[in-house]
Structure 1
Amino acid sequence: MTAHAAPDAGRSVFVEHPSREAIYAELHARAIEPIATSARIRRVSFMPGPNGPALHEVAARFATFAGMSALSLDDGRIRHIKAERNGRKIIWELHNEFATLTWQSVLTDWEAWPEGIGLSCFEGLELVSATRIDLTETSAITEEALVGFNPITLCYSDMYAGHAQVATDFKRDRDGFTRYELAAGQCNVLRRGVLVRRLLEIETYSNFVLLGLPVARSYAPTIHGLEAALSGVMGRIGHAHSLAENREALDGIHALSAEVGRGIEETSFRFAASQAYADVLKTRLVQLVETPIGEFTTIERYLTNRTDPAVATCLATEKRLKALAMKLQRSAELLNAHISLNLEMQNQTILDTISRTSESQYRLQETVEGLSIIAISYYALAILGYIIEGFSHIWHVDKGIVMLCAAPIMLLLVWRGIKRLRKAA
């Protein structure tokens, strides 16, 4: 007989990757919840504020509320928690920078912010979006449901080849929720859950896409001022000649570089997040497979016409900031080149001055040497004249003739002697 190893016998030789559980949990997070009957679904999304609690703290609160033991942030179970309170199905979901709470109840539940469903766990966070979906089992949205929408912004369309209808005007109701009317009588329970999930995601992600727009708009005057200041600095660089002027221009460039760097640091994450949310939003909008009803528009067209310009504004603002950083870098390089050229010109002037000074000293030295030869020769001839005068009575020589003959010889000897001394030095 052949012995069979235990099923887990071979696993002991492997070491699991530390992120394996997190990957598995992510594959099953945010699962589709089947919806069998008419229902009212609400979702709210929150993100941390400047002085509010972190998401993992809020997650720990909700885990305790749901009757779970304290879980760490890297535990995949904390990203998707289900609970049921007072006849409402509650789902908590944790995303990268925000968290959502979704609850499902009967269609006649008009309580917008009910107690006892865990909303208190979000205390200290900032509300970003609130969505309400009224799901009916009819095959089409009733005229009474459409009356409450604004016809100017109404999006009204068929989905999935006419198997469902959706309508919304993206206006907040008196409770602060954006209302969607969904007729899905021809869809099975799972397809209803998919549609509700898509609409909730579309409303949530469209709000987070637009979070970058106020940031871009608020930075527009700042960028305009920085561009004007940079032009002024560039003008000073072209006319700076003194050390004080160059230093003033350099200080201006450093101040502008710090301001631009701070702007890039403060906006880069928000702009990148808006772009990422926009990509996800486009995928979700395509998945609706909409066809407009009558002369009304679709959710995809309406949101695309608003989110695309917002993302373009964010990208343009980011581009302007980066262009400013590049211009400042080139300005600093230009100023360095300008300063280096000034230094070279100053050095050349100094070298020319030194050269002229050396030439003057050389000429002065030759003049002094010439005068020294004459002076030494004069004194030597004077001494020789005294000697000749002393012997003139003995040798009866003419002093004038002797001095005349000795003068050129003495000059030659003194000149050669000074030349030797210069070489020796």
Structure 2
Amino acid sequence: MLRDHPLRVELCNELHARPFTQLSGPETITHIGIVTGEGKAEEERRHVGQLCSRYNVVPPLPGTKHFMADFGRFFLVWERHTEFSTYTFFRNRRDPQRKLSDIDPVHIDQAGEQPYVPFSRTAIAQVPGDWLEGLSGDRLVGVHLELEGPDAQERTMQEQVAFFPSGNLAASTLRAGLAAVWMDFSINEDGYGRILLKDYGLKPRQIGRAVQRLLEIETYRMMALLSLPLAQSYGARLAKAGRKLTDITSRMTGTRAVTSEKILLRELTELSAEIEQAAAETNYRFSASKAYHELVKQRTRKLREGNMDGFQRIESFLDRRLTPAMRTCEATALRLDTLSKRVARAGQLLRTRVDIQLEEQNSALLKSMDRRASLQLRLQETVEGLSVAAISYYVVSLIYYLAKGANDLGFDIKASLVAALSIPLVVIGLWLGVRRVRRMVTRNQSE
């Protein structure tokens, strides 16, 4: 038996973690995205489990990041991402084993005579309000999506546009005219944007993929834009830092004193710390926005849009409005990186100049010390000569008193003559002794 890698099953199941749903019109969908930050997955999973307990539904297993279940009045798809979670509520979608009589005919009014008006009844209205209030984090994404089948009422273009209060929307055909979509990318009075998808002959899996891509476009668009206020707020700070760096570099060219350059080096170090702090605060957000933007572009290409007269395609709409915002974020990140490199180069140059001047000062100090040592050596030699004379005087005096004492004892010795004869011997002996000691000291120091 072969031994499997511990992560084999987990990595294989990753491709199947977020399957496309099979949909058919009519369908009413509400999609919300909650930003919670990292480390909130277990808390959200427990909250979803509380909802499951209310409706006697099997809760999500520990460690799962994707969960879907039928709650009777609505169908829920929960997905956990790195820093946010999405909750998608379907009002019509049911488990295939449920009876058709259990489905709430939301697309027919209470009288059963007039056709359903899109966006008049939302899927999230079926979800318990207290449970929604208990969701942790902040809502960043909120959109209602209406899916109409081929047999839905035909409307004029003006009637379609009337469903979007903002009046500023994108529209296009999908998959060679097999579907059409209208999308406003706005927040209306109820706090939600709107998407209207008309099916003219797509298969349930194709509809599910189209719906998921449209919802992901809205989600990743908003997540990508999270870095725009950050980039705008750092614009003035980076401009100020750039001016400060220019001032420091200009002062570098006109100063020669080591003390002045030390002051400049301290200012440059403080500026470098400020820039590195800004980089640490923005690097993750800018990198994440870049990744989200790539996902938006990928999902948009997968829609295979066609032109609809009088409207911009979703891709063109986003390219005109989202891309400039992402360019601003990229420019801010590049500006921050460039400024950091400039500060590093200026700091290296300034440190080199300070080191060179310190070496020059050290060299001058060493030369001064050499001169002092030379003077001390000469003084020492002079002192050595004086010391030989002084010691000789005392030694000769001792010999004199010794000879005088011997004369008093009865020996016929002239003390003054003995003292006079000993002077050359004493002086020569002391001089040779001092010289020998100095040579021994010099030899020990050299070793």
Matched residue, 2:183: 168
Identify the match of residue 90 of structure 1 among 62, 76, 79.
76
Q: Structure 1, residues 16-44: CA drift from partner, whole Å, max 9, x if none?
A: 33323332432222222222221121100
5 Å matches for 1:206-355? 206-238=221-253, 239=255, 241-243=257-259, 245-355=260-370
Displacement, 1:161? 0.8
Displacement, 1:62? 0.3
Identify the match of residue 134 of structure 1 among 130, 136, 146.
146
Paired with 2:384 and 2:44, the residues of 1 have a C-alpha distance of: 97
Q: Structure 1, residues 262-303: CA drift from partner, whole Å, max 9, x if none?
A: 211111111111111111111111111112212321001111
Aligned residues of 2:44 and 2:136 also touching (Cα < 8 A): no
Q: Structure 1, residues 63-114: CA drift from partner, whole Å, max 9, x if none?
A: 3422335732x34xx422323242x222111122211111122445624642
Aligned residues of 2:141 and 2:219 also touching (Cα < 8 A): yes
Identify the match of residue 127 of structure 2 among 116, 137, 140.
116
Structure 2 vs 1, CA of residues 192 and 71 (structure 1 numbering), >3 Å: closer, same or farther? closer
Displacement, 1:49? 5.7
Structure 2 vs 1, CA of residues 367 and 190 (structure 1 numbering), >3 Å: closer, same or farther? closer
Displacement, 1:242? 4.0
Residue identity opposite 1:162 in structure 2: G
Structure 2 residues not aligned, in runs of 5+: 92-105, 108-115, 388-427, 439-447
Paired with 2:49 and 2:333, the residues of 1 have a C-alpha distance of: 39
Aligned residues of 1:141 and 1:182 also touching (Cα < 8 A): no
Structure 2 vs 1, CA of residues 417 and 60 (structure 1 numbering), >3 Å: closer, same or farther? same
- Secondary structure of 1:21's aligned partner: helix
Q: Structure 1, residues 89-142: CA drift from partner, whole Å, max 9, x if none?
A: 221111222111111224456246425358527523111111111111248664
Matched residue, 2:31: 43
- Secondary structure of 2:5's aligned partner: coil
Identify the match of residue 99 of structure 1 among 85, 93, 113.
85
Structure 2 vs 1, CA of residues 333 and 360 (structure 1 numbering), >3 Å: closer, same or farther? same
5 Å matches for 1:51-62? 54-62=40-48
Q: Structure 1, residues 143-164: CA drift from partner, whole Å, max 9, x if none?
A: 3122233686331211111111
Paired with 1:165 and 1:297, the residues of 2 have a C-alpha distance of: 13
Matched residue, 1:65: 51
Paired with 1:369 and 1:135, the residues of 2 have a C-alpha distance of: 112
Aligned residues of 2:30 and 2:122 also touching (Cα < 8 A): no
Aligned residues of 1:211 and 1:274 also touching (Cα < 8 A): yes
Paired with 1:349 and 1:267, the residues of 2 have a C-alpha distance of: 48
Aligned residues of 1:220 and 1:317 also touching (Cα < 8 A): yes
Residue identity opposite 1:43 in structure 2: H
Paired with 1:69 and 1:240, the residues of 2 have a C-alpha distance of: 73
Does 118-127 or 272-281 show the bigger shift?
118-127
- TM-score (structure 1 length as normaliser): 0.75
Matched residue, 1:27: 15
Aligned residues of 2:22 and 2:208 also touching (Cα < 8 A): yes
Does 225-234 or 166-175 show the bigger shift?
225-234
Aligned residues of 2:89 and 2:124 also touching (Cα < 8 A): no
Aligned residues of 1:141 and 1:165 also touching (Cα < 8 A): no
Aligned residues of 1:83 and 1:91 also touching (Cα < 8 A): no
Aligned residues of 1:129 and 1:207 also touching (Cα < 8 A): yes
Query: What is the aligned-residue identity percentage?
Result: 30
- Secondary structure of 2:190's aligned partner: coil
Paired with 1:63 and 1:309, the residues of 2 have a C-alpha distance of: 41
Does 274-283 or 30-39 show the bigger shift?
30-39
Residue identity opposite 1:241 in structure 2: A
Does 208-217 or 225-234 show the bigger shift?
225-234
Paired with 1:194 and 1:159, the residues of 2 have a C-alpha distance of: 12
Displacement, 1:178? 1.2
Residue identity opposite 2:18 in structure 1: R
- Secondary structure of 2:186's aligned partner: strand
Does 283-292 or 352-361 show the bigger shift?
352-361
Paired with 1:152 and 1:123, the residues of 2 have a C-alpha distance of: 32
Structure 2 vs 1, CA of residues 27 and 121 (structure 1 numbering), >3 Å: closer, same or farther? farther
Paired with 2:335 and 2:69, the residues of 1 have a C-alpha distance of: 45
- Secondary structure of 1:172's aligned partner: coil
Displacement, 1:419? 9.8
Structure 2 vs 1, CA of residues 89 and 81 (structure 1 numbering), >3 Å: closer, same or farther? closer
Structure 1 residues not aligned, in runs of 5+: 1-12, 373-415
- Secondary structure of 2:184's aligned partner: strand
Paired with 2:68 and 2:172, the residues of 1 have a C-alpha distance of: 33
Residue identity opposite 1:18 in structure 2: P
Structure 2 vs 1, CA of residues 101 and 362 (structure 1 numbering), >3 Å: closer, same or farther? closer
Displacement, 1:339? 1.8
- What's the RMSD between the two structures over aligned residues? 3.5
Q: Structure 1, residues 192-225: CA drift from partner, whole Å, max 9, x if none?
A: 2221111111111111111111111111112122
